[in-house]
Chain A
Amino acid sequence: MSNLSSNIILVIAVTSIATYLSRSFGVLFSEKIDEHSKIFKLFDCIAYSTLAALISKVVIFPAGDLVEAGIFLRIGVVFLCVIAFYVFKKNLVYPTILSAILLTVLIKII
């Protein structure tokens, strides 16, 4: 096995373990938690806010290909798609497809 190949296997293993730890500790911790308790409500809020923090971080400070699109373009597409989400009565498909088309087209124009 080449050096690069064994390196990649190690990288995949390390990434998988780091990810599974959060998932499994969550299950372990939740064994003692009642769904009607205050601590459950607190974790519910933290889960929603952490997801929102992650998504907005991905849009405003992206990694990977999204960096190529300017920040105002990215935020503009998000706003238009949120408007579309409400215009289409909270349908998720239209804003999702619209986002890909809008960004692919606008990045060529702007």
Chain B
Amino acid sequence: MINSAYFFLGFKSVRSFDSPAIALACSFIAIGALLKNIGFNLQQSFFSTFFTYALPGQLVMAESFIIGASLINIFIGVWLVNARLFPMAVSMFPLLKSKKQSKWKYYLSCHFLAVSSWLIMKKDYRTITEEFRIDFWIGIGTATWSIAILSTVLGFLVSDYLSKDMMIGLAIVNPIYFFCMLIGSIKNIAIGTSVILGTILGPAFYLISPEWCILYGGVSAGVVAFFAGEFDE
């Protein structure tokens, strides 16, 4: 089954001083408060994060729900904003492969894929024996997912005490934390170009297609960055 030593090693990685726990908690407190404001009850808010666990997708869901969008429109909107999870999975799961591990672990634990857990795994995978990287990953994922769920519940419960200014303050925490984490993980020309070009092209493509801007900006920047990396080698 799951190697408990590696599982807890991963689980404890969110305890470090500069772990994503604070940013994650702030963002999901804001989501919990938002879900309450749009009419979700406590159980529904809990299950929203439990089953989705993807902040931008949940924001799109909330916005679409408010304007009474159809289910198919919600599906497309969420799929588009969360499509980033596909390249994230493709660029991480090959690092966790082991013939000694069962497949169900990979398909179940992919639910834990989020910016926070992905960046921790990309930073730490070399320190873990190949065979047990998936157990380490399940540990990281369980910890970050639990923080998100508990924070959603907390946000729901304290929403009446959060002023508008405090909600705005909470909303900036997530992009700041992950932007700093991204620029901190730049280790070569290819990744550096990816981050810089992605930062410019994402909003640039918004002017052409607000719905597709993340995919257009991300893929075009990534392809250019890949060739920049190849040229540099």
Whether A26 lies near B182 (C-beta < 8 A) is no
Hey, which chain A residues are within 8 Å of B85, CB to CB?
A: 19, 22-23, 26
A3 to B1, CA, bound (A): 42
**Residue B148 CB within 8 A of the other chain:** no
Whether A65 lies near B61 (C-beta < 8 A) is no
* Cβ < 8 Å to A, chain B residues 75-131: 75-76, 78-79, 81-95, 97, 106-107, 110-111, 113, 115, 118
Hey, which chain A residues are within 8 Å of B218, CB to CB?
A: 46, 49-54
- Number of A-B residue pairs at CB separation under 8 A: 323
Whether B74 lies near A14 (C-beta < 8 A) is yes
**Residue B8 CB within 8 A of the other chain:** no
B101 to chain A, nearest CB (A): 12
Residues of A in contact with B, size category: 35 or more
Whether A26 lies near B52 (C-beta < 8 A) is no
Nearest B-chain residue to A9, judged by Cβ? B44
**A contact face: mostly helix, strand, loop, or mixed:** helix
Whether A53 lies near B110 (C-beta < 8 A) is no
* Cβ < 8 Å to B, chain A residues 61-88: 61-66, 68-69, 74, 77-78, 81-82, 85
A22 to B92, CA, bound (A): 13
Nearest B-chain residue to A59, judged by Cβ? B175
Binding site for B on A (CB under 8 A): 4-5, 8-27, 29-31, 33-35, 38, 40-66, 68-69, 74, 77-78, 81-82, 85, 90-93, 95-97, 99-101, 103-104, 107-108
Binding site for A on B (CB under 8 A): 17-18, 20, 22-23, 26, 30, 34, 39-41, 44, 47-48, 51-54, 56-65, 71, 74-76, 78-79, 81-95, 97, 106-107, 110-111, 113, 115, 118, 164-185, 190-191, 193-203, 205-206, 210, 213-215, 217-219, 221-223, 225-226, 229-230
User: What are 19 inter-chain pairs, A to B, with CB distance below 8 A?
Assistant: A22-B82, A26-B89, A26-B90, A30-B90, A44-B190, A45-B194, A45-B226, A46-B222, A47-B118, A48-B194, A52-B196, A58-B56, A63-B63, A78-B179, A85-B184, A92-B180, A96-B173, A100-B169, A100-B173
